Amino acid sequence: MIRRRTLLAAPALVLPAAARAQAWPARPISMIVAFGAGGGTDVAARSIARFMEKHLGGASIGVVNRPGAGGEVGWTALAQAAPDGYTIGFINVPAIVAMTVEKQTRFTIDSFAPIGNIAYDPAILCVRSDSPYASLGAFIQAAKAEPGRITVGTSGAPGNSEHLALLVMQRLTGARINHAPFGGTAPLRTALLGGHVPAATFNLSEGVDQAAEGNLRILGVMSVEREAMAPDVPTFREQGVDVVAGSSRGLVAPKGVDAAILARLQDALARAINDPEYREAAIKAKVPLRYMPAEEYGAFLKKTLEEMRAIWAATPWR
Amino acid sequence: MFDPLLVAAPSVLAPTSILAMVLGTAMGLVVGAMPGLTVTTGIAVLIPFTFGLDPLVALGLMAGMYNGGSYGGAITAILLRVPGTPASVATVLDGYPLAQSGRAGYALQVAVVSGTIGSVLSALALILLAPPLARVSLLFGPAEYFWVAMFGLATVAVLLGDDPPKGLLSAALGLMLGTVGQDLITGSERYTFDILELVDGFSIVVLLTGLYALPPVFRMAEEAVREGMPGSALRLRRAGSVLAEWRRFLPVWLRSSLIGIVVGVMPGAAGSITSLIAYNEAKRRSAEPESFGKGNPEGVAASEAGNGADNAAALVPALTLGIPGSGVAAVILGGLLVHGLRPGPQLFREAPEIVYGFMLQMLVTAMLLLLLGGLAATRLFGQVLRLPPVVLAPAIAVITAVGVFAVNNSVFDLGVLFAIGLVGYAMERLDYPTAPAVLGMLLGPMAEQQLRLALTIGLGDPAVLVANPASWAVIALTLLVLASPWLRRGRTVTS
């Protein structure tokens, strides 16, 4: 085992950078997923990996699940991996950014070199269809009339992206709500449908089906523009509340990967996303595709970091 | 409810699904017959290998493993006096004497027929009872789930017979392990000692595997010099037909199946208890109770029918409420999650074809049991027993370690596995039951989290806990379980 690895590493030491990039990929590439197998990120990783393999000329990409600590275990491993192009991985924004803001982590967003963003799922605020809150305005009015007495459930732990969005909403409108972190979308959605919480926030793709069935009403989507998945749902901005929030999944490499190799990874991702077969599969699986090339993704990461720092300064969430 | 059944039927009967069920049942028989390997372990080891499979193929494997394993345990119980799974403890009592008197083949046949009948009735109950339960389950919010957890914890305390203080200590250990990790409401970390891997708490699969799979390995290592069973001692030919004596067994089958289903549905009662209760009940009702324990086939029938009937029924709370009623159910929940299926009421809405498909697979594999277990496995798998412990023990240890590592790709988990395995071994040697610890681990965090969530939603007013009729019903059930020993004592005094 050791001998084989030395043999593989030997050319890397001898060859100049250009030749090294040309020889890449000489062995399988690991794609780290910081969440358990079968979760949303895992499924996204496994599906894109297949198409990236195809566009990297038959390279082999293996998904490695490293769950734990809300992603911190996997992201630490990714940041600390050798920047040789043989380890890439998924990061989830804003979760990873919020983590670097709220506590001491062994990585910052500068530890990663962006390859590209794949999906973006905006957050929504929704109520059961028989709820008295007909619109976002009515909800905010009610929350102002009874400060801190209307409960809104969120799908994560304190400090999740929806919790942060609610903090911003409260700051902008002066309304005050009671926050209940459910730790997962399934129990939250069940509680909302069963009338155990009056309102809840989760991602759009997790609510469109129930809204289409007429069981839930989406008061607003926290995106810049209306979403193709739910064109009838007004955005928060349209309703006078400037909150944009959601969670994105993108692909990065540890910082320091050879520029030529990084370019090939970025190119393979772009081609994979535009592969008609992949697009069809993604739409069927309700993946909220939003491709951002590396440069745009990098800017998006920086912008998110500034926003998170501002929120933390105004209202630390833990 | 027949619509989703009809929709699911074709995919259940698809060739890949049938292959998965046959394979699963066969593997279950092997796993069950391997002393030390429980169905829980078997399924836990299996899960990582099902990542890339179609959900119904993966679930077919699990259903087969579940039903097959519950009978497989009887093989070693009857032949070797070693219960292959904890649930086959009661089968030892009459099965081994029967085998000793030269009727091993007959005893195995009684076991497989009884187990099949119990499993089939149980699967039917799951298919019929689960949908109404799923509809009712929307009534369950955080406050109600808190009471469900309390109910589960209450049943543990009462059902743990022999030495209640030991049972309670074991449950307390489980509760303590359950508190490790990030606090959901405030986000602060508890007992994590800055270890990143502990922030999410212990992985239930790792704990369960350590607690159940490793202690028997250590036990085997103790007696590693023993040899396997000589081939000449295995008498596996059939003698007499059980089905011809159906009149004799019918009341035992029906009674034991009913017990198995009722106890199985309760999310606090483990399978090993079911077969013991069924056995005791058969003995109590028998015209000749003194013949039990000396090779009465009715004892084997009662134990195995009860054990089989526990299987699918234990999945009712797991599938409809997301509450695992047993260790196996917990691992199956994990298996569902791997495929993006979140057990709970929404599962019936979101993936009816998969839930109903899985329930049908439980039914089909129950019947496969008769075919595979009755015709082939009994003779074939019996040969495994000829392996000496010196080969068997390390093989189980390696398989377990590989399975646990594959779940999270975590070396830390391997450390936890062996540490908890040693704890489980110590508990076993000191006669502490491990089942209460498992339930403590599962139900403790649930009780705490749901209580605090309910109070958060209720703005701190404890009245939310008793605001709904669903809460009252669960509280009443809990009180009933807690009061039953006194009620029973009162009755014996008057009679």
Q: CB neighbours of B433 closer than 8 A, spacing ≥ 6? A: B160, B166, B167, B170, B427
Please give the pLDDT value at position A9: 46
CB contact under 8 A, B342 and A191: no
B187, B344, B410: residue with CB nearest A190 = B344
From residue B195, alpha-carbon distances to A69, B203, B412 in Å are 10, 14, 10
CA distance A296 to chain B (A): 31
Which residues in chain B have their CB less than 8 angstroms from residue A158's CB? Answer: 185-187
Pick the range with the lowest mean pLDDT from A195-199, A288-292, B64-68, B135-139.
Answer: B135-139
pTM of the full structure: 0.71
B232 contacts chain A (CB < 8 A)? no
CB contact under 8 A, B196 and A194: no
Which residues in chain B have their CB less than 8 angstroms from residue A176's CB? Answer: none
A151, A157, A193: residue with CB nearest B184 = A157
Which residues in chain B have their CB less than 8 angstroms from residue A187's CB? Answer: 322, 344
A250: confidence class by pLDDT, cuts 50, 70, 90:
very high
CA distance A301 to chain B (A): 24
CA distance B65 to chain A (A): 21
Which residues in chain A have their CB less than 8 angstroms from residue B338's CB? Answer: 36-38
Per residue in A211-248, pLDDT (tens digit) is 877 888 999 999 988 988 888 999 999 999 988 888 88
Which residues in chain B have their CB less than 8 angstroms from residue A67's CB? Answer: 200, 408
Query: Residues A27-47: what's their mean pLDDT?
Result: 78
Distance CA B178, CA A300 (A): 39
A156 to chain B: closest CA residue: B184
Distance CA A73, CA A313 (A): 26
Q: Where are the domains of chain A?
A: 2-20+28-120+247-314, 121-221
B468 to chain A: closest CA residue: A196
Angle at B335 between CA B329 and CA B336, to 5 degrees: 90
CB contact under 8 A, B337 and A36: yes
CB contact under 8 A, A182 and B339: no
CB contact under 8 A, A157 and B187: yes
DSSP string, chain A: -HHHHHHHHHHHHHS-HHHHHHH--SSPEEEEESS-TTSHHHHHHHHHHHHHHHHTTS--EEEEE---GGGHHHHHHHHHS-SSSSEEEEEEETHHHHHHHHS--S--GGGEEEEEEEEEEEEEEEEETT-S--SHHHHHHHHHHSTTTSEEEESSSTT-HHHHHHHHHHHHH----EEEE-SSHHHHHHHHHTTSSSEEEEEGGGTHHHHHTTSEEEEEE-SSS-BTTBTTSPBTTTTT-----EEEEEEEEETT--HHHHHHHHHHHHHHHH-HHHHHHHHHTT--EEEEEHHHHHHHHHHHHHHHHHHHHHS---
Query: What are phi and psi for residue B320, nearest 5 degrees?
Result: -85, -35
- With 90 as the cut, is the pLDDT of residue A198 above it? yes
A75 to chain B: closest CA residue: B196
CATH for the stretch A121-221:
3.40.190.10
Percent over 90 (pLDDT), chain A = 32
Which residues of A sit within 8 Å Cβ distance of B? 36-40, 43, 46, 64-70, 72-73, 76, 148-149, 151, 153, 157-159, 178-184, 186-187, 189-191, 193-197, 209, 318
Please give the pLDDT value at position B84: 62
Considering chain A, what is the average pLDDT of its residues?
84
From residue B255, alpha-carbon distances to B67, B92, B206, B264 in Å are 20, 20, 36, 14
B457 contacts chain A (CB < 8 A)? yes
Angle at B142 between CA B139 and CA B145, to 5 degrees: 75
B78 and B209 Cβ atoms separated by less than 8 Å: no
CB contact under 8 A, B51 and A194: no
CA distance B290 to chain A (A): 51
B182, B185, B340: residue with CB nearest A38 = B340
CB contact under 8 A, B196 and A76: yes
Return the CATH class of domain A2-20+28-120+247-314: alpha beta
- Which residue type does B444 have? G
CB contact under 8 A, A38 and B51: yes
- With 50 as the cut, is the pLDDT of residue A8 above it? no
- With 80 as the cut, is the pLDDT of residue A64 above it? yes
Please give the pLDDT value at position B451: 92
CB contact under 8 A, A38 and B197: no
**Among B453, B465, B468, which would you mutate to test the A interface (most chain A Cβ atoms within 10 Å of its Cβ)?**
B453
Q: How many CA atoms lie within 13 A of A311 on its CB side?
A: 30
Exposed, middle or buried by CB within 10 Å (0-12, 13-18, 19+), for A142? middle
Say which residue, A316 or B35, is predicted with more confidence: A316
CA distance B446 to chain A (A): 12
A91 and A297 Cβ atoms separated by less than 8 Å: no
Please give the pLDDT value at position A278: 83
Please give the pLDDT value at position B161: 52
Tell me if A2-20+28-120+247-314 shares its fold with A121-221. yes
Exposed, middle or buried by CB within 10 Å (0-12, 13-18, 19+), for A314? exposed
Mean pLDDT by 10 residues, chain B (495 residues): 78 90 90 68 69 82 90 78 67 80 80 91 86 65 84 65 79 90 82 84 77 77 66 55 78 88 62 70 76 85 89 80 65 70 68 86 90 71 66 76 74 91 90 78 83 91 88 86 71 52
CA distance B320 to chain A (A): 12
Please give the pLDDT value at position B133: 61
Please give the pLDDT value at position A247: 86
Alpha-carbon dihedral B382, B388, B393, B395, rounded to 10 degrees: -70
CB contact under 8 A, A157 and B322: no
A252: confidence class by pLDDT, cuts 50, 70, 90:
very high
Size of the A and B interface in Cβ pairs below 8 Å: 102
**Among A80, A164, A196, which would you mutate to test the B interface (most chain B Cβ atoms within 10 Å of its Cβ)?**
A196
Please give the pLDDT value at position B338: 61
| Interface subset of B 410-449, CB within 8 angstroms of A | 410, 449
A39, A184, A191: residue with CB nearest B141 = A191
B7 and B22 Cβ atoms separated by less than 8 Å: no
Which residues in chain B have their CB less than 8 angstroms from residue A191's CB? Answer: 141-142
